[in-house]
Amino acid sequence: MTDQAILLAPPLNPPQRVLLGPGPSDVPPRVLAALAAPTIGHLDPVYLKIMDETRAMLRAVFRTKNELTMAVSGTGSAGMEAAIVNLVEPGDEMIVCVNGVFGTRMRDVAQRAGATVHSIEAEWGRTIDPQQVADALKAHPKTKLLGIVHAETSTGAHQPLEEISDLVHDFGALLVVDAVTSLGGVELKVDDWKIDACYSGTQKCLSCPPGLAPLTFSPAAVEAMDRRKTKVQSWYLDASMLRQYWGAERVYHHTAPINMTYALHESLRVVLEEGLEARIARHTHNHKALRAGLEALGLKYVPEHSLTTLNAIHSPAGVDEAKVRKRLLEDYGIEIGAGLGPFKGKAMRIGLMGSSSTKRNVTLVLAALETVLAGEGVAVGRGEAIAAAERMYASQR
């Protein structure tokens, strides 16, 4: 056997799934088609124009006029790291709100960047109380910035931001927001809510393949970066250099993922063609119908305030949630997510994000889940879940 025969892998043939997990979401054919367009150079005038158009559309989706708005090369976690390392210098004090995996991750990133981090803790599934923020700011008067997760993917919790933003800015600090599972699916107003740094990912409500992290910085955040006395910890994510590439200077920094930018460009066109208000309403309507159906099956939600884009539910007592998810995947081609942290083995997460948020998918996952749970010995009323969802749809017309 030749070396070539040994090394040659079989042709790619990934299965067609219904992506109803915590991400990625289903990608529309027109976005996949954009991904397959001819690759050109990362400094080609045509590509630079595409970058400019992408920035303009990102501003519209973030609802901001921030000049420093771009798509960082990397997934949502790269956006998190970019937001933190550009604003934190060694010894700076930062407050991080922790009520799930991604608040925990933000705290870790800040500590690695040299910040002295003070945590505001809440039980997983709960949201952060504004009074906790007020108390923490009072206790730590040298705080430079506060980080919080708008949409906690690990628990499905939806964090209100406006009151907390007022507290942070009245104190004179900067506000950093994780909007990975909310941008393009949940109401988010960067300028109106005075968010100073906000990051997301392409693979959630934007229904683009993973690989880029939309990121925006307020003028106040840019001023803070310009006052730095030390270099940014990460060369790759240093916004002082990235903005020269994304801005008018076009100074080479790295070879951008050209085809991923094509895909993001097209996915943003899809979002804006639908309209943000209509898109947010669609996510809300489908979430309410799904919730009605899940509750008709006797399933209870993990968070007190649930996202419309990510539904975290407790597993029924005595049921192996891993077996349920496996049957959904193997028998119906439906992917849903497992619980994380303290909910590992005890919860399931059903995403309704972007192109995955449809009435068809709500009906499909409810019917499949009803059948699988019945097979696991759970007493469910046959057809009641879909009937409950249909009643909810009818009430929203």
Confidence of residue 381 (pLDDT cuts 50, 70, 90): confident
Asked if 317 and 339 sit in the same domain, the reply is yes
The last residue of a domain, from among 243, 273, 303: 273
- 195 and 297 housed in the same domain: no
Query: Do 187 and 248 belong together in one domain?
Result: yes
CATH code of the domain in which 286 resides: 3.90.1150.10
**Structural domain count of the chain:** 2
Q: Are residues 125 and 234 in the same domain?
A: yes
221 lies in the same domain as 282: no
CB 376 within 8 A of CB 347: no
How far apart (Å, rounded) are the C-alpha atoms in residues 115 and 188? 27
One domain for residues 285 and 263: no
What would you report as the CA-atom Rg of the chain, rounded to the nearest whole angstrom? 22
pLDDT given for residue 203 in this prediction = 98
287 and 261 together in one domain: no
pLDDT of residue 8 exceeding 90, the answer is: no
pLDDT at 382: 86
Same domain for 337 and 236, yes or no, is no
For residue 1, give Cα distances in angstroms to 4, 8, 367: 8, 11, 50
pLDDT for 222 = 98
Q: How many CB atoms lie within 10 A of CB 192?
A: 12
Please report the pLDDT score of residue 7 as a whole number: 77
Query: Is 257 contained in some domain?
Result: yes
- Report the C-alpha gap between 362 and 93 in whole angstroms: 44
Same-domain check for residues 266 and 285: no
Per-residue pLDDT, 347:
97
Question: 263 with 351, same domain?
Answer: no
In a domain, 15, yes or no: no
Q: Is residue 129 part of a domain?
A: yes
Q: How much is the pLDDT for 397?
A: 82
> CATH code at 229?
3.40.640.10
The answer to whether the CB of 149 falls within 8 A of the CB of 100 is yes
Give the per-residue pLDDT at 215: 98
- Report yes or no: 91 and 116 within 8 Å, Cβ to Cβ: yes
Domain containing residue 75: 29-273
Instruction: Transcribe 113-124 into DSSP letters.
Output: TT-EEEEEE--T
pLDDT at 5: 62
293 and 193 housed in the same domain: no
Pick 14 or 4 by higher pLDDT.
14
294 with 163, same domain: the answer is no
